[in-house]
């Protein structure tokens, strides 16, 4: 049994859905669970809609209509018979949002976010499931919320692995003996049956959750790149495909910000020794990248760039040491404001971190910290991480850049830098 995951870029239009069908057909007969993300930039649009609704702005209904028309155009291109049941089913998915919008916002933002944004995955999988049946690939649509159990942490639900595995094992192995199944990435549910999401870009993680619970043969993530590259093509003109990658290196690369795989994806697969393949949905004959239990090192240095970084330096007002009680307090404040640390360094009287400049929540964190500490801040920085570095690779990325902070260990070098004028 295999798990296939298709991201938003792979199903951004009707041709993408048709291509998904070609890929699935090429792997028949196989036992497949297919996990699908929201189409194209739907998640971004529904995030805008949620924020607009929460702030009682005038464009909420316009944003909803935009999403409805986008999906309607894909449905029309795939199903010329307007009496096909997919038309009503897609329309009914959006009714879930319309019901919410009928009332003034009263619930917390994170809760509303999960109820609204999750509809993107419900719509995409409805379309994909009907299309596969339409072309003769029999499948059953499954609601991921019936299987993936989480706590009540909205927007980043923590998986209850025991309950999830019980639910998956209860009926999926037998179901997948006879037909394919299509389900959603990114979403789960609480014990009270409220929808939760697993964190931005969490569909990869969903595929890993299902695979680990099923003890699947493998997981394949279909991307618009040929596999895992040693750098993002938007930063490097010449990149290299990494044909094989250890679980450890994959975990490290995602931890430091590599975007090709969601950071939580690898560990559940490593625990069950399930290989993960990253392949191109454009060139399906390409071998892609295999992530597995190999002991081999990375064949080439790998580069990860994160822009729009903020360096926050925290000092005790009484010039006491930065020790465990201060660090515990500082990290609790970061957690409270949902700020993730990308790089950190501490001395006797200074604790410095680099974080993404996410706007308001960073500003609220700074305000909160200043009640107890002296806080200094630098904006507009870049964080460069090199896995399996050498001096040549360091020199390569430092052209016209000044180092603000530098950390090295045996395998990884992190450089927080500012661009030099001119």
| Residues 147 and 21 both lie in one domain | yes
pLDDT of residue 422: 63
pLDDT reading at 319 higher than 70:
no
| Residues 175 and 306 both lie in one domain | no
**Percent of residues, the chain, with pLDDT higher than 90:** 85
| Residues 208 and 318 both lie in one domain | no
Q: How far is CA 76 from CA 63, 64, 70, 71, 373, in A?
A: 20, 18, 10, 9, 58
Domain span including residue 49: 2-223
Kindly state whether residue 42 falls inside one of the protein's structural domains.
Answer: yes
Instruction: Using the 3D structure, point to which of 223, 249, 284 is the last residue of a domain.
Output: 223
CATH number at residue 203: 3.40.1160.10
pLDDT single digits (tens) 22-39: 999 999 988 999 999 999
Give me the phi and psi of 47, to 5 degrees please.
-65, -45
Domain count, the chain: 2
| Residues 217 and 308 both lie in one domain | no
Q: Other C-beta atoms within 10 Å of 217: how many?
A: 13
pLDDT reading at 222 higher than 70:
yes
pLDDT single digits (tens) 282-300: 999 888 999 999 988 888 9
Average pLDDT score over residue span 240-251: 93
pLDDT of residue 326: 81
Q: Is 287 helix (H, G, I), strand (E, B) or coil?
A: coil
| Residues 183 and 322 both lie in one domain | no
pLDDT single digits (tens) 100-147: 999 999 999 999 999 999 999 999 999 999 999 999 999 999 999 999
User: Please, what's the b/e burial string for 91-104 (b: 16 or more CB within 10 A of its CB; e: otherwise)?
Assistant: eebbeebeebeeee
Mean per-residue pLDDT of the chain = 95
Kindly state whether residue 237 falls inside one of the protein's structural domains.
Answer: no
pLDDT reading at 12 higher than 70:
yes
pLDDT reading at 324 higher than 90:
no
Kindly state whether residue 271 falls inside one of the protein's structural domains.
Answer: no
| Residues 318 and 206 both lie in one domain | no
pLDDT single digits (tens) 326-361: 889 999 999 999 899 999 998 888 899 999 998 889
Kindly state whether residue 164 falls inside one of the protein's structural domains.
Answer: yes
CATH number at residue 310: 3.30.2130.10
pTM: 0.92
pLDDT of residue 259: 82
Kindly state whether residue 259 falls inside one of the protein's structural domains.
Answer: no
Question: What confidence category does residue 153 fall into, taking pLDDT thresholds of 50, 70 and 90?
Answer: very high
Instruction: Using the 3D structure, point to which of 193, 223, 253 is the last residue of a domain.
Output: 223
What's the DSSP call for residue 41? T
pLDDT of residue 373: 92
Give dist(CA 303, CA 384) in Å, integer.
7
Kindly state whether residue 276 falls inside one of the protein's structural domains.
Answer: no
Average pLDDT score over residue span 387-411: 95
Instruction: Using the 3D structure, point to which of 223, 238, 268 is the last residue of a domain.
Output: 223
pLDDT of residue 178: 87
């Amino acid at each position: 049994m295999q798990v296939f995951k298709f991201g938003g870029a792979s199903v951004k239009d009707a041709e993408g859905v048709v291509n998904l069908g070609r890929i699935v057909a090429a792997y028949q007969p196989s036992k497949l669970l297919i996990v699908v993300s929201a189409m194209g930039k739907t998640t971004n649009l529904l995030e805008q809609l949620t924020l607009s609704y929460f702030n009682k702005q005038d464009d909420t209904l316009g944003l909803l209509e935009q999403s409805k028309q986008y999906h309607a155009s894909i449905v029309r291109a795939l199903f010329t018979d307007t009496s096909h049941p997919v038309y009503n089913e897609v329309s009914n998915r959006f009714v879930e949002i319309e019901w919410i919008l009928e009332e003034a916002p009263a619930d917390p933002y994170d809760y509303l976010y999960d109820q609204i944004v999750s509809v993107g995955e419900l719509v995409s999988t409805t379309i994909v499931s009907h299309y596969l049946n339409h072309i003769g690939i029999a499948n059953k649509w499954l609601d991921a919320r019936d299987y993936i159990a989480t706590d009540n942490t909205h927007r980043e639900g923590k998986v209850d692995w025991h309950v999830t595995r019980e639910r998956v094992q209860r009926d999926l192995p037998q179901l997948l003996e006879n037909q394919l199944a299509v389900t959603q990435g990114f979403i789960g549910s609480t014990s009270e049956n409220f929808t939760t999401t697993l964190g931005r870009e969490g569909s990869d993680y969903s595929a890993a959750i299902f695979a680990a619970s099923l003890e699947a043969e493998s997981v394949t993530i279909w991307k618009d790149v040929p596999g895992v590259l040693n750098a993002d093509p938007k930063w490097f003109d010449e990149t290299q495909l990494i044909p094989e990658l250890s679980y450890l290196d994959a975990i490290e690369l995602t931890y430091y910000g590599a975007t090709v795989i969601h950071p939580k994806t690898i560990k559940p697969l490593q625990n069950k020794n399930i290989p993960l393949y990253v392949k191109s949905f454009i060139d399906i004959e390409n071998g892609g990248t295999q992530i597995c239990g190999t002991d081999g090192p990375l064949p080439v240095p790998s580069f990860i760039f994160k822009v729009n970084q903020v360096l926050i330096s925290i000092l005790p007002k009484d010039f006491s040491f930065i020790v465990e009680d201060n660090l515990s307090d500082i990290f609790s404040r970061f957690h409270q404001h949902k700020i993730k640390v990308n790089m950190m360094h501490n001395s006797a009287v200074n604790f410095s971190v680099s974080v993404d400049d996410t706007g308001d929540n960073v500003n609220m964190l700074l305000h909160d910290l200043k009640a107890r500490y002296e806080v200094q801040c630098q904006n507009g920085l870049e964080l460069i991480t090199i896995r399996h570095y050498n001096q040549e690779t360091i020199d390569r990325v430092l052209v016209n850049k000044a180092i603000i902070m530098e950390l090295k260990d045996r395998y990884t070098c992190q450089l927080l830098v500012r661009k030099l004028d001119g």
